[in-house]
A and B are shown apart, each in its own frame.
Chain A
Amino acid sequence: MSTPFDYTLASARDALRARKISARELTEAHLSAIERLDGSLNSFITTTPENALKAADAADATLAKGEGGELCGLPLGIKDLFCTNGTRTTAASNILRDFVPPYESTVTSNLLRDGAIFLGKLNLDEFAMGSGNLNSAFGPAINPWKRNGSDEQLVPGGSSGGSAAAVAAGLVLGATGTDTGGSIRQPAAYTGIAGIKPTYGRCSRFGTIAFASSLDQAGPMARNLQDCAILLRSMAGFDQRDSTSVDTPVPNYEAALNRGVKGLRVGIPKEYHADGMPAEIEALWQQGINWLRDAGAEIKEVSLPHTKYGLPTYYIAALAEASSNLARYDGLRFGARVKADSLDAMYEASRAAGFGEEVKRRILLGTHVLSSGYYDAYYLRAQKVRTLIQQDFLKAYEDVDVLLTPTAPSSAFALNEKPSDPVQMYLNDVFTVPASMAGVPALSVPAGLDGQGLPLGLQLIGKFFDEETLIAAGHVLEQAASFTHRPTIHAGNPA
Chain B
Amino acid sequence: MSLDAKTVLRTARLARIGLAPAEVEALQKDMGSIIDWVEQLNELDVSDVPPMIGTGLAKPRLREDRITDGERPDDVLSNAPDREGPYFTVPKVVE
Interface residues of A (CB under 8 A from B): 98-100, 102-103, 199-201, 214, 240, 243-247, 306, 308-309, 312-313, 315-316, 323, 327, 330-337, 339-349, 351-352, 355, 360-361, 363-365, 367-368, 371, 378, 380-388, 390, 421-423, 438-439, 464
0/1 string, B52-68, CB within 8 A of A gives 1: 11110111110100000
Decide: A309 near B81, CB < 8 A? Known: A332-B90, A421-B33, A439-B55. no
Q: Which residues of chain A come closer than 8 Å to B53, judged between CB atoms?
A: 214, 383
Is there an interface contact between A364 and B52, defined as CB atoms closer than 8 Å?
no
Is there an interface contact between B17 and A381, defined as CB atoms closer than 8 Å?
no
Q: Which residue from B41, B46, B75, B81 sits with its C-beta under 8 Å from A331?
A: B81
Is there an interface contact between B57 and A200, defined as CB atoms closer than 8 Å?
yes
Nearest B residue (CB) for A101? B79
Q: Which residues of chain A come closer than 8 Å to B91, judged between CB atoms?
A: 339-343, 345-346
Is there an interface contact between B79 and A335, defined as CB atoms closer than 8 Å?
yes
Interchain residue pairs with CB less than 8 A apart (16): A199-B57, A200-B55, A244-B55, A312-B41, A316-B38, A323-B15, A334-B81, A337-B82, A342-B93, A348-B16, A352-B17, A360-B19, A361-B27, A364-B31, A365-B34, A371-B11
Q: Which residues of chain B come closer than 8 Å to A352, judged between CB atoms?
A: 17-20
Q: Which residue from B20, B46, B63, B72 sits with its C-beta under 8 Å from A388?
A: B46
Interface residues of B (CB under 8 A from A): 7-8, 10-12, 14-20, 23, 27, 30-31, 33-35, 37-38, 40-42, 44, 46, 49-55, 57-61, 63, 72, 75-76, 78-82, 88, 90-91, 93
Decide: A364 near B41, CB < 8 A? Known: A343-B90, A343-B91. no
Going nearest first, the 9 A-B pairs with the smallest beta carbon separation are A439-B55, A383-B51, A334-B79, A352-B18, A102-B75, A337-B81, A348-B18, A384-B46, A347-B16
Q: How far is the CB of B18 from chain A (nearest CB, A)?
A: 4
Task: Report the Cα distance A199→B58, complex, angstroms.
Answer: 11
Q: What secondary structure prevails in chain B residues at the interface with A? A: loop
Task: Report the Cα distance A245→B40, complex, angstroms.
Answer: 33
Q: Which residues of chain A come closer than 8 Å to B34, judged between CB atoms?
A: 315, 365, 422-423
Q: How far is the CB of B51 from chain A (nearest CB, A)?
A: 3
Instruction: With a 10 A CB-CB cut-off, give which of B57, B61, B72, B88 has the most chain A CB atoms.
Output: B57
Task: Report the Cα distance A386→B30, complex, angstroms.
Answer: 24
Is there an interface contact between B79 and A100, defined as CB atoms closer than 8 Å?
yes
Task: Report the Cα distance A475→B15, complex, angstroms.
Answer: 46
Nearest B residue (CB) for A217? B55
Is there an interface contact between A201 and B57, defined as CB atoms closer than 8 Å?
yes
Task: Report the Cα distance A386→B54, complex, angstroms.
Answer: 10
Q: How far is the CB of B3 from chain A (nearest CB, A)?
A: 8
Q: Which residues of chain B come closer than 8 Å to A439, judged between CB atoms?
A: 55, 57
Nearest B residue (CB) for A346? B91
Nearest B residue (CB) for A391? B49
Task: Report the Cα distance A342→B93, complex, angstroms.
Answer: 7
Is there an interface contact between B33 and A422, defined as CB atoms closer than 8 Å?
yes
Task: Report the Cα distance A364→B9, complex, angstroms.
Answer: 10
Is there an interface contact between A364 and B11, defined as CB atoms closer than 8 Å?
yes
Nearest B residue (CB) for A85? B75
Nearest A residue (CB) for B70? A103
